[in-house]
Structure 1
Amino acid sequence: MSDVAEKIRLTDLANPVLTEIQSGALAYSQTQPVTLTSEAVLAAAQAGTGLSDFGAPDFRERLAVWMHAGDTDAELSAAGRGTLFSEAVRLASNRLQLEDTVRRHPEILDIEIERPLIIAGLPRSGTTYTLQLMSADPRLRSLPHWEAVRPIAAPWIKDGKDTRYDTCAAEWAQMDAVMPYIKMIHEFSPDHISEDIELQGLDFGGYYFEWIAHVPEWRDYQFAHDATSVMRYVRKAMQVLSWQKGPNRWVSKCPQHMEQLLAVKGAFPDSYIVINHRDPVASIQSAITGIAYGARLTRTRVDMQGIADYWIDRYERLLRACVRDRDQLDPAQSYDLYFHELMADPFGQLERVYQGAGVPFDGQTRDAFQQAIDANKRGKHGQLAYNLREDFGIEPAAIRERFQFYYDRFPEVRIEVK
């Protein structure tokens, strides 16, 4: 059997040829209209959980911006609106359950989140690979997808069994049936280790909804407000999760931490921050291809130029914030991890991370990492073939010139896309 992953070229990004299942999903969504207001979201969450206490009220302003931004997205399809609403209700419901758990068990807030390892880095820059390997270490607590989407166990215990894993597996099978190439872009299987964007979402922070809808209003709101309070809510969620099932030393990641470095440090002063670096052009071509593929369901038309323009600008904001803030991190509590070095020598690079973070790196660690490497080979589901020129009419050199400030600050970054 060949180790070379199959390369698949999506030729219908701009003018999608829908499958029967996709057409059916779009038709069904037309029969299920939603009201994108914060009031509707919170009422649905309260009705679904039987709970009413959302905790500190500051999140309500953020939720209102989310909903207004989505509601005024003129090309968001009925399916896109439904996704935005249902995700907001899920997060609000999870928040209600989390707050209820803390109210009944106030000792949760005494749990120390001990020196977490937090990974930043652009999408597709090796952050997922790094996280998958480190999450194999039983000394570190991570967030599998089945737990990320339903973090509070109690409501999902049926006849003594936790049903969250099986529920997530069924949802993944459904998503795979509707959008079969998603697994090559971003896997959402139950065991896949999730980003802490899910935990930021409990406080209605983070850029999660930017991946679903065209919401520059929400993007701009984020840049105008400090994210430290949102990251403190992430810490609270980690306390609850560690109380449910330890340990209490976390490994977590989110690409948006590239622009949240100081907020992360403000909420987790003893954290060890790993910043993954890769040619941003390689990251962009993967990200916008994935967004364009998903747009066949979430948008009324696939605006290839609009997708490229928004996300190239978004990447520039991420990178400029990283360059601005990187040197404010203590060198003894941070590490720059380069993609080509990680791929060439994952054990060597992670041993350096562990050394910096004060985690012993021994034979058991190597064995756990090797098992994770064997289970997470790149392209195990096949790989998409990306082409900026043909699909988006963009010259890679033009993006690279725009990002020269990043290459100047991190000259070790290797150019991948010519």
Structure 2
Amino acid sequence: MTNLAAPKRTPFIDILQGAVGIGQKLGVVPPSTLEKEALMSAAVEETGLGDFGDPWFEAPFSALLDSIREEAHLNRAGEFAARLQFNKVLCDRLTAIEWFKRHPEILERSIRRPVVIVGPMRSGTTRLHRLLASDRRFSHMRSFETISPVPRPGFEDVLAGRKRDFRPTLAKRIMRVARLANPRTLSIHPTGPFEPEEELGLLVNSMYGMKHEAQWRVPTYGRWCERIDATPAYRHMADLLRLIGWSQQVSEIRPWILKTPQHMLDLPALLEVFPDARIIFTHRDPKKIVGSAASLAWNQTAIYSDDVTPYEVGREWQRKSVLQVERMLAARSLVPAERRIDVGYDAMDRDWRGTMQRIYAFLDLDMGPAVPAMERYLDRARGLKRQPHTYSLEQFGISEDEVRERFAPYVARFDIPVEGAIAAEPNRRRFSPALKMAATR
């Protein structure tokens, strides 16, 4: 029988809340002020720098802070974590602009023909990304770089071998705390400091993107982001990729492997910044997409708020998943046919070698040299994932029939295998008109 109770957070958060409260009463922990001017001033004071670059980020930052104050209902630990997160992002932004001034050659680096994996949350993008990233002919980000994309001042000493990069150590500490707060993160998204990772953290550097929505209950902010042109955030993301490539000291000839479900919503912005990108679209049974996305978001949101229900999270991520598919279908024609390919989650499960061979043919590359590294990654992945990610739609108040009906045009368009048959004549009133229209193109 399905377990209908959504997982609860660990006692660690309650202990942390108590410690933060005591620390604030004693004056050893500063108050968790979440006001834009105060946060920006604190970052300027901490770094001694004053140039944040393109001020575009201030609009999403204001929208996010307003939504947090009005909707997120953060607990004491959540407010404490938010203040630390914003401080780090702002300090990173200031430091990045300083690197660009000191080393103008960074912004001259080219990003040619990146390979971008575009799929809904939980559609197998991580597996495909890490398989391709194991091929040394490509460049990729590592987990510690999405947590800390900007090297600390004095990184020239690291490049010269006189110092060690502190960022992997910081990533280990952050991951250790995350696992104490919620050990299920290992089963939902297994990772380590040096594992290939997506670039969502680079969009966070512009205070933009779904990471905030998966972390806090901020629906007004989410809808605000859905209405705007995200091109400035993508331009800053590209500059941070250039900085990371420079810090890695890798050849500009190597194409980047990129992926984040955010691209489902922002394909026009992605293609504006990377006009020669080659796109791999991933697809999966919508019931798995919605259930897994809701589970991921719930396991994070419940840490930071004492006043959120799994049903709220489930409704929001079903809506968000439908929108991702709508936006992708509406914009995929912007990608020339010879620069896009569709890959099914189940096909990768059944025959990963055959599926990867088809992808390598699309990329006009010989897969042979990469196979040993891919096999090593798969062996390592089995060790990273300590337990299966278990979830159900029922935990989040969503019925399978509802998901089937809402995603029926998408399933039919890409011939996606699903568990259980979709009714021959579903209730068309429940389709999103945009999804139904886009799926026929």
TM-score, structure 2 as length reference: 0.86
SS of 2:314's equivalent in the other structure is helix
**1:402 matched residue in structure 2:** 406
Amino acid at match of 1:388: L
The offset of 1:10, in angstroms, is 7.4
1:295-342 superposed Cα distances (whole Å, 9 cap, x missing partner): 332112341211111111111111111121122321111111111111
**2:131 matched residue in structure 1:** 133
**1:393 matched residue in structure 2:** 397
Question: Which of the numbers 31, 36, 39 marks the counterpart of 2:37?
Answer: 39
**1:6 matched residue in structure 2:** none
Are 1:174 and 2:177 matched, yes or no?
yes
**1:291 matched residue in structure 2:** 297
**1:353 matched residue in structure 2:** 359
Q: How does 1:254-403 map to 2 (within 5 A)?
A: 254-358=260-364, 360-377=365-382, 380-389=385-394, 391-403=395-407
Amino acid at match of 1:237: L
The offset of 1:12, in angstroms, is 5.5
Question: Which of the numbers 413, 418, 437 marks the counterpart of 1:415?
Answer: 418
Amino acid at match of 1:130: L
SS of 1:187's equivalent in the other structure is coil
Contact 1:323 1:409 in 2 (8 A): no
Question: Which of the numbers 167, 171, 188 marks the counterpart of 1:164?
Answer: 167
**1:95 matched residue in structure 2:** 93
Contact 2:171 2:193 in 1 (8 A): yes
Q: RMSD over aligned Cα, in angstroms?
A: 2.2
In structure 2, relative to structure 1, the CA distance for the partners of 1:81 and 1:373 (3 Å cut) is same
Distance 2:72 2:101 in 1: 41
The offset of 1:126, in angstroms, is 0.6
SS of 2:280's equivalent in the other structure is strand
SS of 1:195's equivalent in the other structure is coil
Amino acid at match of 2:47: T
Contact 1:285 1:386 in 2 (8 A): yes
Contact 1:45 1:89 in 2 (8 A): yes
Amino acid at match of 1:357: L
SS of 1:190's equivalent in the other structure is coil
The offset of 1:392, in angstroms, is 2.7
Question: Which of the numbers 57, 60, 73 marks the counterpart of 1:59?
Answer: 57
Amino acid at match of 1:60: E
Are 1:122 and 2:115 matched, yes or no?
no
Q: Which runs of 5+ in 2 are unaligned?
A: 422-441
Distance 1:355 1:319 in 2: 26
Contact 1:52 1:96 in 2 (8 A): yes
The offset of 1:396, in angstroms, is 1.0
In structure 2, relative to structure 1, the CA distance for the partners of 1:364 and 1:240 (3 Å cut) is same
The offset of 1:69, in angstroms, is 1.2
Contact 2:238 2:273 in 1 (8 A): yes
Contact 1:139 1:247 in 2 (8 A): no
In structure 2, relative to structure 1, the CA distance for the partners of 1:417 and 1:368 (3 Å cut) is farther
Q: Which has the higher mean CA deviation after the structures are superposed, 280-289 or 42-51?
A: 42-51
Contact 1:26 1:297 in 2 (8 A): no
Distance 1:152 1:365 in 2: 29
The offset of 1:17, in angstroms, is 6.8
1:130-153 superposed Cα distances (whole Å, 9 cap, x missing partner): 111111111211111112211222
Contact 1:122 1:258 in 2 (8 A): yes
Amino acid at match of 2:378: I
1:143-191 superposed Cα distances (whole Å, 9 cap, x missing partner): 1111221122243758612121122112212222232111111234212
SS of 1:376's equivalent in the other structure is helix
**2:224 matched residue in structure 1:** 221
The offset of 1:78, in angstroms, is 2.2
SS of 1:337's equivalent in the other structure is strand
Contact 1:70 1:84 in 2 (8 A): no
**2:17 matched residue in structure 1:** 26
**1:195 matched residue in structure 2:** 198
Q: Which runs of 5+ in 1 are unaligned?
A: 1-8
**1:155 matched residue in structure 2:** 153
1:179-230 superposed Cα distances (whole Å, 9 cap, x missing partner): 2111111234212322111111122222211111121222122222111221
Contact 1:13 1:302 in 2 (8 A): no
**1:5 matched residue in structure 2:** none
Count of residues in correspondence between the two structures: 405
Q: Which has the higher mean CA deviation after the structures are superposed, 202-211 or 284-293?
A: 284-293
In structure 2, relative to structure 1, the CA distance for the partners of 1:187 and 1:356 (3 Å cut) is same
Distance 1:12 1:49 in 2: 45
**1:242 matched residue in structure 2:** 245
**1:86 matched residue in structure 2:** 84
Distance 2:109 2:322 in 1: 37
Question: Which of the numbers 6, 12, 33 marks the counterpart of 1:13?
Answer: 6
SS of 1:377's equivalent in the other structure is helix
Contact 2:217 2:301 in 1 (8 A): no
**1:3 matched residue in structure 2:** none
Identical counterparts, % of pairs? 25
In structure 2, relative to structure 1, the CA distance for the partners of 1:74 and 1:172 (3 Å cut) is closer
TM-score, structure 1 as length reference: 0.90
The offset of 1:282, in angstroms, is 0.4
Contact 2:116 2:258 in 1 (8 A): yes
